[in-house]
Amino acid sequence: MSDWRVRIPGRDIWRVGLVEAPIADIARRGFPADAPVRWLGEEGRLKFLADPFGFWRDGRLHLFVEAYDYRTRHGVIETIELGADFTPIRRAVVLKEPWHLSYPQVFAADGEIWMLPEAYRSGAVTLYRAAAFPDVWEPAARLELDTPAIDATPFRHDGLWWLAYSPTGPQRWKQGRLHFAFAERLTGPWRTHPGNPVRDTLASSRPGGTVWIEGGLPRLPVQDCTRTYGGAIRILNISRLTPERFEAEASAPLGSPPGAGRYAHGLHTLSSCGPVTLFDVKRIDRSLWGARGD
C-alpha cells in the first residue's frame, strides 16, 4: 500500500530565555537545574523573537532581539527593558531598515555604546552608535571585509579588535564556515585573516553568541547545524588566535535548558550579560497554517 502522507515543511519558531548564571559556568556544566529559567512570552502566530543580547544601564537589563514576522520575511531589532524581577516593563522597535536585521550585538567601547546587527542582505556590515540609548541608533561605520558578514561577533584579544563571522554564499557556507578579521580600532580599517575560512564544518563554525575571555583565551559560542539550522550550541575553545595563526577545538553540544518543553529542537544563541546568560530555543512548526503561510 502506498503511503499517502505528505511531510509538511516546517518553520523555525524561536523563544528567548534568561538564566541567572554566568556564561562560563553554563559552558562548563550546562544549564543549572537549580537556577530557574525566565522565559519571555511567546509571540503571535507566524512571529518570534530570537538572537537575544543584553546591556545593563542604570541597574536595568535591556534586551535587544530580532523580531521576525514570517508574513513579511523581515526582521527588525527591538529592545525589551526588564524590571528588577526580570519581568518585561517596556518594549519598542529601535532599528528598522529596508533589509532584514538580526543578531544585535550591543556593547560598550571607547566611551560609546555600539550595536553590530547582522544585515548581510544589505551587502555590508554596518556598525551603529547609540545616539540616545536604547531607542535611537545611527550608522557610524561600514566595516570592509572579505564578505558581507553573517552573525559578526566582535571582541578584544591581545590588543586587537576581532570579528568572528560566517560568509555569504551557499547555505553550506553560511552555516558551516568561520572567518576572522582584525583591526586596531573598532571602526577599522579591518584586515581579514589569511586562513579564512579558518574552520569548515557544520558542527561548529557559525557564531552563536558573545565571546568571553578565559585564561587569556577567547571562548566563542558556535552553532551545530549538522542536524538542523541552529540545532545546538557548542563552545569553540580557541587556543591560538593571531593575525597569522588560528587553532581551536569545539566542545560537546550543550543540552537544552530546563523547561524548554516543545522548544527542544534547537539552541542557536548564547550571550553573556554579567551575572545572567541569555539564549534562544526553537520548535519546528509543521501545522497547516505554518505550511501555507496564512
Integer Cα distance of 205 and 201 in angstroms: 6
CATH of domain 11-292: 2.115.10.20
Are 172 and 203 in contact by the 8 Å Cβ rule? The answer is no
Distance from C-alpha of 7 to C-alpha of 221, rounded to nearest angstrom: 32
Confidence of residue 8 (pLDDT cuts 50, 70, 90): low
- Cα(179)–Cα(164) distance, integer angstroms: 6
Mean pLDDT over 257-275 rounds to: 96
The pLDDT, as a whole number, for residue 288 is: 63
Q: What is the pLDDT of residues 136-190, one digit of tens each?
A: 999 999 999 999 999 999 999 999 999 999 999 999 999 999 999 999 999 999 9
Q: What's the chain's length in residues?
A: 294
Of the candidates 233, 284, 237, which has an alpha carbon nearest to the alpha carbon of residue 263?
284
**Per-residue pLDDT band at 291 (split at 50, 70, 90):** very low
**Peptide bond just before 134 cis, omega within 30 deg:** yes
DSSP 69-94: ETTTTEEEEEEEEE-TTS-EEEEEEE
- Sequence spans of domains, the chain: 11-292
The residue type found at 52 is P
Query: How much is the average pLDDT of 266-288?
Result: 94
Is 50 exceeded by the pLDDT of residue 293? Answer: no
The per-residue pLDDT for 5 is 45
Structural contact between residues 176 and 225, judged by C-beta atoms closer than 8 angstroms: yes
Task: Examine the pLDDT at 286 and tell me if it is beyond 50.
Answer: yes
**Which tens digit of pLDDT belongs to each residue from 182-227?**
999 999 999 999 999 999 999 999 999 999 999 999 999 999 999 9
At residue 10, the pLDDT reads 87
What is the pLDDT, as a whole number, of residue 287? 80
Percent of the chain with pLDDT over 70: 95
Q: Which sign, positive or negative, has the C-alpha torsion 52, 43, 229, 190?
A: negative
Cβ neighbours of residue 179 under 8 Å, at least 6 residues apart? 145, 146, 147, 149, 164, 165, 166, 167, 192, 193, 196, 197, 198
Residue 3 pLDDT > 50: no
Q: Which residues of 103-131 are buried (b: 16+ CB within 10 A; e: fewer)?
A: bbbbbeeeeebbbbbbbbebeebbbbbbe
Cis amide leading into 189 (omega within 30): yes
Residue 1 pLDDT more than 60?
no
